[in-house]
Copies of this chain bind each other. A is one copy, B any other.
Amino acid sequence: MPTVAEPARPPGASVGTTEQLRRNNLSNILSLVHQGGPLSRARLTRMTGLNRSTVGAVVADLADLRLVNERMPERSAKAGRPSPVVHVDQGTVAIAVNPEVDAVHVGLVGLGGRVFKQVRVATANTPSAEQVVELATTAISDLLSRQDHSLRVVGIGVAVPGQVRLSDGLVREATHMGWFEQPLAAMFERSTGHPSWAANAAVLAMRAESTFGAGRDVDDLVYVIGGASGIGGGVVTGGRLLTGTAGYAGEFGHTFVRPSGTACQCGGHGCFEAEVTQQRLLDSVGLQAAQADQLSAALAESTNPDVAVLVAESLDLLGIVVRNAVNLFNPSVVVLSGFLAALHSAAPDDRALIGEAIRSARETVRVQDAALGADQLMVGAAEIVFAELIADPSGFLAS
């Protein structure tokens, strides 16, 4: 007879035993080197507050796991014995996959966030989930075989333009791809043998930005990105990624901005992403979808009053989204990305965006544009894999 289930909620951080303590220290130090680049052991000591000898032991453990290696610095500025610099291992990589309407992107990303290689496999039509897995699997073995040194692949991260259940990587719906209830992570695991995760692309873009870009060292961050397939976003609060109960949090694209507005693909009305689209802005200045990166310049150069009206109107609606977000999340930074960054650069100041947020929250928030370029999604997709590795380095590699 099974015993009565306890409220299994692990109270507080799950660090109760000495074993978990060491795991935590391994995790923290690996995380610092992953995010902060090469760091001397002396700096790690100061940053963690641990003892010199402890840091030495932990770094030695990480080196045994081939996750980091130590090198003596070439030049040392200050007096005293030089401290060995801890680098992330260059042979440990994650594979990033990003299916799109007309192509599949596949990349090789090293621990530390460097994109080593990247390919774009074009498709004739919008690919099915099965096709994406097949194309990506081929591309992956191709990428790996062309590599000279042998790499250790720790897993696959897939960035999907749609809603993904984090627990098992099930794509609930990706309307632009025409996908519904596709167990994408499981499909990748079966096809490649590598442990796989999938998540919403906008959330992963934010992860990249939050770990390596404009949101670095920001504990309370709101990120909104606009692309060809709509508007998404993600939130970091208290230094932690906001996922919600299943991973669907951060859908800024479906914020209500206009009563009885255009019908949205989601079934609702007045959604932000139904009212403000990249296509409409591109059309207004006569650009093609492929020229989205020129939107900011084109908007700045335009003297067409119709464009000015469209921009003003779009900024107003973006302002509603940002205002709501500032009131709800009280972030220190709001990052705008994709065509929303272009829209932002067309605004005379940030008053249209945050002017109507409550004063207390408004005063300490700043709006800025994304810092990362095209690699963004590759880095973000790899990051879901690395996050798992970093959470429990030795446990992850043992399994």
Contact = CB atoms under 8 A, between A and B. Distances in A.
Interface of A: 6-13, 15-18, 21, 24-25, 27-29, 31-32, 36, 43, 46-50, 163, 165, 172-173, 217, 219-220, 235, 237-240, 242-252, 254-259, 266-269, 320, 323-325, 327-332, 356-361, 364
A256 B272 CA distance: 12
Given A9-B239, A15-B21, A248-B330, 10 more contacts: A6-B43, A12-B31, A16-B24, A16-B28, A244-B330, A249-B328, A249-B330, A266-B356, A268-B323, A325-B328
B220 A358 contact: no
> Which of A50, A327, A328, A357 has the largest number of chain B CB atoms within 10 A?
A328
Nearest to A172: B360
A283 to B, nearest CB: 24
A244 B331 contact: yes
A173 B360 contact: yes
A220 B250 CA distance: 13
Q: Chain A at the B interface: mostly helix, strand, loop or mixed?
A: loop
A248 B250 CA distance: 19
Contacts of A12: 13, 24, 27-28, 31
A115 B16 CA distance: 32
Contact of A242 (B11, B237, B256, B323): B237
A356 B6 contact: no
22 contacts: A7-B47, A9-B239, A11-B32, A11-B48, A12-B24, A13-B15, A15-B24, A17-B50, A163-B360, A163-B361, A172-B359, A173-B360, A237-B237, A237-B243, A238-B243, A242-B329, A246-B361, A249-B330, A251-B361, A256-B320, A256-B324, A268-B358
A329 B242 CA distance: 8
Q: Which 7 residue pairs across A and B have the least CB separation, nearest first?
A: A244-B330, A13-B13, A268-B356, A249-B330, A220-B245, A251-B327, A248-B330
Given A238-B243, A246-B364, A248-B330, A6 B47 contact: yes
A165 to B, nearest CB: 8
A111 to B, nearest CB: 16
Contact of A238 (B31, B46, B242, B360): B242
Contact of A330 (B11, B46, B240, B243): B243
B7 A13 contact: no
A259 B256 contact: no
Contacts of A235: 328
Given A24-B15, A267-B359, A250 B328 contact: yes
A349 B2 CA distance: 38
Contacts of A219: 9, 245
Contacts of A217: 7, 9
A48 B256 contact: no
B251 A358 contact: yes
